[in-house]
Structure 1
């Protein structure tokens, strides 16, 4: 009986759409909006514009993309999208709780967020190393994100301003958008229009 079910199971797996363009798109847009604020290209009061995206697009939608990657047996994609979906949800929650007065950093907000970002920098480091076995577009996302995280950690601890990290974050978002666009356009066209340059495994 299990043998009779096997073709159906295989066809169901094959029919599953690639969730990575959604995950990359959610990550890109949320990163872009926050990075524009970090780069001080908009007024500080406008920084909160990233919150809705962090909860629903970079957060929830990216988390759902990660769950779908589990179904496709993609350990890298599942881990990356699920973690960064949780990252945005966590960050948005911290910002919201602070705004509501639930959290009082007592002047140590920089240290708190610095440690928060440092933890994700450590995570991103081994994901960055693993990305060298995926493709150049994804590797580009994790490479620029690694630099972004390092710069933002330094900014939170008061060594530099947030501007360098913001600029690097914008670059990260643009590369992530390219990778997302490649996944959508190549799928719709049935051929490679935007190359992602697979790396040798």
Structure 2
């Protein structure tokens, strides 16, 4: 028995050492995993919290109407200003034509910017919004990028998308259907901005009204009311110009910070938003 004790002790020490090494190795692996929390190469959504802790209030520059995570530890840049700028410029050009600026009435010049900037670039920005975990931004920017591509296809003679409609009234009706669908979609997005900021909400409000005016303009043209159709088209152009400038406003809010700008622009939080309740300093019971 005495001769077996060293072996037994050695086995115990080996077993204990192995177990301790396994525990330490597991602990080290856990620490390594914790240190890789922000490793976006494995999981681009790893930074998303399940609760409000660590989130910042909406302001439009992140194209997120709810609480959002700061980009301090985010490997990807904020794609929202790019998408907003692409939307703004394309909308600006088309809206000027809808308003009849300088007597221009043909929208064909929009084709290049609709395909290249408002379409392709905005679609790419929407895809990057998916990568950073922003469902609202991904849905809105990708959809409006698709809108500009679809609109450019309608205007491109080579596609002949409207060639099947030989009557001008029928062509105006189907364009009205097209714009009405986008009015409904934008209204859904508008509802989601009611708890964000005034500038973010106004962007979607003016855009929704632009779609409504332009859809009604096409229906009026289909009914033979040329005068009303022109007036509604100009109204749609006016709301479109407002939407374009509001998109640029929100884009600037997302780009500007103390490192590159001498001033930051206000976004005006709604009093019932997270930031609005916080600024009033109400208790938890009062904010429920």
TM-score between the two structures when normalised by the length of structure 2:
0.63
**1:102 corresponds to 2:155:** no
Q: Which has the higher Rg, Structure 1 or Structure 2?
A: 2
- Work out the CA distance in 1 between the residues paired with 2:158 and 2:86: 26
Q: Could you tell me which residue of structure 2 aligns to residue 8 of structure 1?
A: 36
- Work out the CA distance in 2 between the residues paired with 1:88 and 1:15: 29
TM-score between the two structures when normalised by the length of structure 1:
0.89
| 1:1-201 correspondence runs (5 A) | 4-5=32-33, 7-8=35-36, 10-12=38-40, 14-42=74-102, 43-45=104-106, 47-96=107-156, 99-100=157-158, 102-103=160-161, 104=163, 105-106=165-166, 107=168, 108-158=170-220, 159-161=228-230, 162-186=233-257, 188-189=259-260, 193-199=264-270, 200-201=273-274
More helix per residue: 1
State the 1:31 CA deviation: 0.3
State the 1:177 CA deviation: 0.8
Alignment RMSD: 2.2
* Number of positions where the alignment pairs a residue of Structure 1 with one of Structure 2: 198
- Work out the CA distance in 1 between the residues paired with 2:263 and 2:131: 25
Decide whether the 8 Å contact of 2:154 with 2:160 is kept in 1.
no
- Work out the CA distance in 1 between the residues paired with 2:93 and 2:253: 21
State the 1:94 CA deviation: 1.2
Instruction: Give the match's secondary structure for 1:186.
Output: coil
Gaps of 5+ in 1: none
Gaps of 5+ in 2: 1-28, 45-73, 221-227, 275-288
Decide whether the 8 Å contact of 2:84 with 2:247 is kept in 1.
yes
1:73–1:2 CA distance, 2 compared to 1 (3 A): farther
- Work out the CA distance in 2 between the residues paired with 1:117 and 1:31: 14
- Work out the CA distance in 1 between the residues paired with 2:30 and 2:176: 52
State the 1:140 CA deviation: 1.2
- Work out the CA distance in 1 between the residues paired with 2:258 and 2:136: 20
State the 1:131 CA deviation: 1.3
Decide whether the 8 Å contact of 1:20 with 1:183 is kept in 2.
yes
Deviating beyond 6 angstroms after TM superposition, the runs of 4 or more aligned structure 1 residues are: none
Worse overlay, 11-20 or 80-89: 11-20
Decide whether the 8 Å contact of 1:186 with 1:194 is kept in 2.
no
State the 1:36 CA deviation: 0.4
Which protein has greater RCO, CA pairs closer than 8 Å, 6+ apart?
Answer: 1
State the 1:192 CA deviation: 6.6
